Amino acid sequence: MPRYRLIVEYDGRPYCGFQAQAGLPTVQESIERAVKAFSGETLRLHAAGRTDTGVHATGQAAHIDLSRDWEPRVIRNALNAYLRPQPISILSVELAEEGWHARFSAIERRYLYRILNRPSPPALEQGRVWHVKKPLDAEAMQAAARHLLGLHDFTTFRDVKCQAKSPVKTLDTAVVRRDGELILLTFTARSFLHRQVRSMTGTLAEVGVGRWAVDDVKTALEAKDRTACGAVAPADGLYLTGVGY
């Protein structure tokens, strides 16, 4: 049974997250219906990460197992045809190597968080950025982000509903930079806790507006206490941009 690797882009706003849920619109369920429409097969789509309600992706990785051989381009074109007009696009389809798994073979997940930092609200990017009116100090946010790098107990930045067995994770990259009116935060790690990126982003924004000092982030991290976290950033600005294998 051939396994096919998919790279998927989607706007998360119309969906109740990636993972299929009975009676609710999700990215997973939408793609599975498209697969059935073109192949006649009812199957489970496996993905590298389960993004939350409203979270977007430009490089989600997933796989499907089909009972017959298809040309990858045929799968890509057929899925995109059946997904219209939903804001989901299959960017590429490739035949996966033996034993490859979208979730379990992943060694890195990359996220981008976009903050629109200006007095006026977004007209063209509503739902795709977090709008913060007060000026943000990107350099101070970057200095604070360095406290998060490495192996830590991230309980402070872990959602209370997180199902991970351990709060200990290694954050490989945490970069904050300004690009005009945008503040861009990029994070990479093998895996993340539930809402960890949004929790870290909201906390760094507290530094950016001057409510927290740079070293307050270190104090919050070491507290290992969810109540020590800053306000959690909304889903609007979060993107899963890629998965490394």
Q: What domains sit in the chain, N to C, each tagged with a CATH number?
A: 3-95 (3.30.70.580), 108-244 (3.30.70.660)
Kindly report, residue by residue over 78-115, the tens digit of the pLDDT: 999 999 999 999 999 999 999 999 999 999 999 999 99
Catalytic residue among 11, 52, 225, 236: 52
- What's CA 74's distance to the chain center, in Å? 28
Contact 10, 57 (CB under 8 A): yes
Range 18-44 average pLDDT: 95
Judged against a pLDDT cut of 90, whether residue 4 lies above it is answered with yes
Q: How far apart are alpha carbons 112 and 42 in whole angstroms?
A: 33
Judged against a pLDDT cut of 90, whether residue 242 lies above it is answered with yes
Q: What is the pTM of this model?
A: 0.95
So what's the pLDDT on residue 169? 97
Active site residue 52: yes
So what's the pLDDT on residue 1? 86
Judged against a pLDDT cut of 90, whether residue 161 lies above it is answered with no
Judged against a pLDDT cut of 90, whether residue 76 lies above it is answered with yes
